[in-house]
Amino acid sequence: MNEKRLIAIIIISLILTACSNDDNDKNKNEAQENLRNSAYDLGTLPDIVADIEWPLKPEITKQIEVTNNTEFQNAASINGISAKVLAGTYNDINITCNDCEFILEDAAEIKGRLSFTGTRIHWVGGLVTTGPIVMDSEHGDILIDNLHAITNGGKLNNFSGAATEWNRVALINSTLEVQNGNNDGDWALFVQGKNGTDFRGKNFILANVRLESDAQNNRFQSIKNLVIVDSYFNSNNTSKNGLRMHRGCEDVYMRDVIIVGANTNSGEETQVINGVFERITRYNDVNNHFSIGIGFNTVNVTINDSQCYTSASNSNAIGKPPVLGVATGVNPGLKTWDGIVVPNSSNVGADH
């Protein structure tokens, strides 16, 4: 082969390789930028969840105002609707439409159950009292933003979805409360998937959310691509679950999360495959989820800059500090807690 031709081929090959690398870097940067420009800035994400997907946006074809319960019920079944819900009191609402959005004024209150069974739904604002909130969509693509919900006794905020797989659900800037709850079945947020890696849900985002419960707090099961950031969980000290990832969650990222209460069994039967946990603070549980609670078929988990606080009234307070177990990273510390004072959560969750 002609020497000049060979040199030219080598140069072209190097240029193409460099361009290919540049394209890969550009695509990765664009993906991160798209996440930042989405409904909530998730910040820089580790590679295990860099492909997290936000719910698809609804395609709106008609805009209306809702002023009474009949209008609200009708709007909830109209595909392509954008409804501004004015101040007032409304009854149980089931959002069955596809490609729809509901923007609620601060003084708009739903007394009863709020459920989502359609797809490509965007919900903003409002207050739900007596509850519960239920996500039962077969397809997903649901974004709930700035919702304040107060459920009362015997009701479950359930985001488990249908028996089929659902994809892309996000709960952001919201507060879910349970009052007069029962430790056997009332949860601020419950996501029940199938066992093992038979995933029911994919791409679940929880950001700037406050979960308050006088019973159990939350459970995540069988979710692939789970991101939880900037959130606060507070539950009854005698309940089982302040944070529980149960029976198979894969590609999990948690950052800047505070967990208070739930004295026992937090993270029971935990199975996390590919997880990164950063700056997690746990109060009143030596056997906390981010230490010896991680085990049981857990693979490739890293824990950094996390702390466990325990009170003198806790019988486990004299026990040994938490250890990483099968996880790697910086060993979480064990510190004394007075059992009363916890970080202020007023800046987390819904703003009304």
Residue 254 lies inside a defined structural domain of this protein? yes
How many CB atoms are located within 10 Å of the residue 103 CB?
18
Measure the CA–CA gap between 259 and 281, rounded to whole angstroms: 6
The closest of 217, 159, 153 to 191, measured between CA atoms, is: 159
pLDDT of residue 266: 44
pLDDT of residue 172: 97
For residue 35, give both structure tokens. 């996440």
pLDDT of residue 193: 65
Measure the CA–CA gap between 150 and 154, rounded to whole angstroms: 12
Written as tens digits, the pLDDT of the chain (352 aa) is: 556 565 555 555 555 555 555 555 554 454 444 444 468 999 999 999 999 999 999 999 999 999 999 999 999 999 999 999 999 999 999 999 999 999 999 899 999 999 999 999 999 999 999 878 999 998 999 999 999 999 887 678 888 888 778 999 999 999 998 887 776 667 788 887 665 456 778 999 999 999 888 877 788 888 899 999 999 988 876 666 677 777 678 899 999 998 887 654 444 456 788 989 898 888 876 554 554 444 455 678 888 888 777 775 555 544 455 566 677 887 667 777 777 788 888 899 998 7
For residue 338, give both structure tokens. 């007075």
Residue 259 lies inside a defined structural domain of this protein? yes
Residue 39 lies inside a defined structural domain of this protein? no
Residue 17 lies inside a defined structural domain of this protein? no
Residue 177 lies inside a defined structural domain of this protein? yes
Range of the domain at 185: 62-337
Tell me, what CATH number does 313's domain have? 2.160.20
CB 152 within 8 Å of CB 128: no
CB 277 within 8 Å of CB 294: no
Element (H, E) at 224: strand 223-234
Residue 190 lies inside a defined structural domain of this protein? yes
CB 337 within 8 Å of CB 310: yes
pLDDT of residue 55: 96
Phi, psi values for residue 23, rounded to 5°: -65, -40
CB 148 within 8 Å of CB 127: yes
Instruction: Give me Rg for the CA atoms of the chain.
Output: 23
Number of domains present in the structure of the chain:
1
For residue 117, give both structure tokens. 């069974």
Residue 200 lies inside a defined structural domain of this protein? yes
Residue 34 lies inside a defined structural domain of this protein? no
SS3 291: coil
pLDDT of residue 285: 60
pLDDT of residue 153: 73
Query: For 111, how many CA atoms within 13 A lie in the half-sphere containing its CB?
Result: 4
